[in-house]
Amino acid sequence: MTPEVMGERLPASYGGPCDATVTTFEQVSRTRAPASGRESQVGKLLRTWRERRRLTQLDLALAADVSTRHISYVETGRSKPTSQMILHLSDQLEIPLRERNVLLLAGGYAPAYPEHELNSPPMSVVNDAINSVLEGHEPYPAIVVDRHWELVAGNAAIAVLTEGAATHLLEPPVNVLRLSLHPEGMAPRIANLGQWREHILYRLAHQAQATGDAALRELHDELAGYPGASPHAQAGAAPAIVVPLRYRTLHGELSFFSTTTVFGTPMDVTVAELAIEAFYPADAPTAEILKRLAG
């Protein structure tokens, strides 16, 4: 398990034959074809991702080592991109694996990335790694979430955070952000609710923008409607470098800071969308309380 690693730049010969006449991605993907529904669709999707990344056609062309004209032809459907070109442009645009499969299908190609269930045999190594991290983090809380912030797994220490939450918020699938900010969830016990809420909404808005995921935008709108906004919060302002979670419990007030860990260089959609949220004590009293509860 490592912090997120960006995809490596692909060599010019990626996916192509060892032919002296094929030296660049543009040459591999130069096949012209009249615009069709399928080819226009993949071009439209690529243009949407480019605009989401706030890149011009020239910016993308320079990053991908192709001509601006070729990017234009791909986006308008005048040139049919190969599967290698689609994946290469996806690398430059940092498109999630799930959406890369969508692009390939739109271009008439098979998906390049599998998607396994966590309980399937190929995922046993991943499950072992997740369990090792969760158990090793005790007595401090740690959870695993998917791309929509639904709880996948957690260690025993998360009970200190969920105690007192309404039953309907703890029934699968549990959305941990909803649980955190819902007035029947953790929110009444968060001492710095305004600050924590601002941090959650800022992070979720950024994720929704980066991924283009409509479900995340809907979740953001839902959470933004919950009470607890800080009167001093500035709309759209970036939160502090490290935002603590100050949480009131029967054992005293606990103070945490959190880290996020993802799998490096994932090649499976499910693995790429998993994240481990680990909470660490922000002060000595919190560490002592958690150790005492674990004992």
pLDDT of residue 239: 52
Sheet strand arrangement including 151-154: 151-154, 142-145, 275-281, 252-261, 245-249
pLDDT tens, 144-168? 999 999 999 999 999 999 999 999 9
Per-residue pLDDT band at 21 (split at 50, 70, 90): very low
pLDDT of residue 3: 40
Tokens of 63: 């990053």
pLDDT tens, 165-195? 999 999 999 999 999 999 999 999 999 999 9
Mean pLDDT of the chain: 87
Task: Tell me what percent of the residues of the chain surpass a pLDDT of 70.
Answer: 83
Is residue 76 packed enough to be buried (19+ CB in 10 Å), middle (13-18) or exposed (0-12)? Answer: middle
Q: Residue 80 pLDDT more than 90?
A: yes
Q: Residue 66 pLDDT more than 60?
A: yes
Is residue 284 packed enough to be buried (19+ CB in 10 Å), middle (13-18) or exposed (0-12)? Answer: exposed
Per-residue pLDDT band at 232 (split at 50, 70, 90): low
pLDDT of residue 32: 47
**Average pLDDT over every residue of 224-235:** 74
Per-residue pLDDT band at 242 (split at 50, 70, 90): confident
Q: Answer yes or no: are the C-beta atoms of 30 and 22 closer than 8 Å.
A: no
- Judged by DSSP in three states, 279 sits in strand
pLDDT of residue 24: 45
Q: For residue 7, give the nearest of 96, 71, 82, 77 by alpha carbon.
A: 96
Domains observed in the chain: 25-106 (1.10.260.40), 121-294 (3.30.450.180)
Instruction: Specify the residue for token string 């959406």.
Output: 99
Q: Residue 246 pLDDT more than 90?
A: yes
Q: For residue 262, give the nearest of 130, 124, 118, 98 by alpha carbon.
A: 130
pLDDT of residue 191: 96
Q: For residue 191, give the nearest of 276, 290, 286 by alpha carbon.
A: 286
* pTM check: above 0.85: no
Q: Residue 9 pLDDT more than 70?
A: no
Beta strands (DSSP E) in the chain are 142-145, 151-154, 245-249, 252-261, 275-281
Characterise 60 by phi-psi region: left (phi > 0), alpha (psi -120 to 50), beta (else). alpha
Q: Residue 38 pLDDT more than 60?
A: no
